[in-house]
Amino acid sequence: MPRASANGIDISYTDGGDGDPLVLVNGLGQPASSWELTLAPALRAEGFRVVTWDLRGTPPTSVPEPPYTVADMAADCIALVEAIGLAPAHLVGYSLGGWIVEEVGLHRPDLVRSAVMIGSANTHGAYERLRYPLMAELARRLDPYPGDLDVVDVLANYLPRKNLQDDATVEMWAGTLDAGPPPPREGRQGQWDAAVTWMDRDAEARWRRLDVDTLVLAFEHDVDSPPARAEAAAALMPRGRFEMIPDVGHLGVFERIDAVQAAITSFVRRPAP
């Protein structure tokens, strides 16, 4: 994989396909390689030049000492877009990646042709305010970190409850989530630290200033970004639009690839007003 020296770190990325540049921005702990199992091939087939990259803290990108902030990772994204000549690009962020896209759109709208925030645009509820600091504290204390703890956390929070009753579904996801090497402690802690501090921003004031074409894409059973909160966020954005994919939770980006790809493609290629 090529690397770019940008914003003081080495960023590992992939760059493939022809057409308008589209940058996929990962969720917390998500390796860039996972996009090859989901959206990257589908978007390349639709005629996009697709760039994926590993966030700071996720090897082979550099793993600086924590803490990290969303602003740090947005600066990484900006530096990468400029280093490989992508601007203006469509930015598509999932979960933590959506926060990064929001930050880039606020501070460097000239780089953003359109923004898609998947499972990420919402005010943070009581459950997240309990969970995020706990996960950051576990990342600080546990080294090595039990891989099964990550698997159980993702399944319990991100699959609809009915799916957890099906052994084949649980075993499939457990095998998928446990397939790669565990992230280093510094990276895990840094990314969870970023999630904790992100909750303290003045979200509504920021959304009112986010003057880029933005799709807020939600999933019906998402506990991280509940659809009602995501729809309220989109309504505050000057050029925001809301769409929901039914019957899935936060992992809908992996479970409903066709629907997510269709929503992205339809939005970024919609006729000019």
Name the 3-class secondary structure at 47. Answer: coil
* H helix intervals, the chain: 39-45, 70-83, 96-107, 126-141, 147-158, 161-164, 167-177, 185-198, 203-209, 227-236, 252-255, 257-268
Enumerate residues 6+ apart whose C-beta is below 8 A from 264: 22, 39, 43, 90, 92, 116, 215, 217
Preceding peptide of 144 cis, ω within 30°: yes
Residue closest to 242 by CA, chosen among 224, 253, 230, 257: 230
Among 12, 62, 95, 120, the one annotated catalytic? 95
Among 72, 76, 222, 224, the one annotated catalytic? 222
d(CA 124, CA 21): 31
Count CA atoms within 13 Å of residue 168 on its CB side.
0
222 catalytic per annotation: yes
76 catalytic per annotation: no
d(CA 190, CA 236): 30
Query: What is the DSSP track for 142-177?
Result: -SSPPHHHHHHHHHHHHS-HHHHT-HHHHHHHHHHH
Strand order in the sheet with 240-245: 3-6, 9-16, 48-53, 20-25, 89-94, 112-118, 214-219, 240-245
Query: What residues are labeled active site?
Result: 95, 222, 250
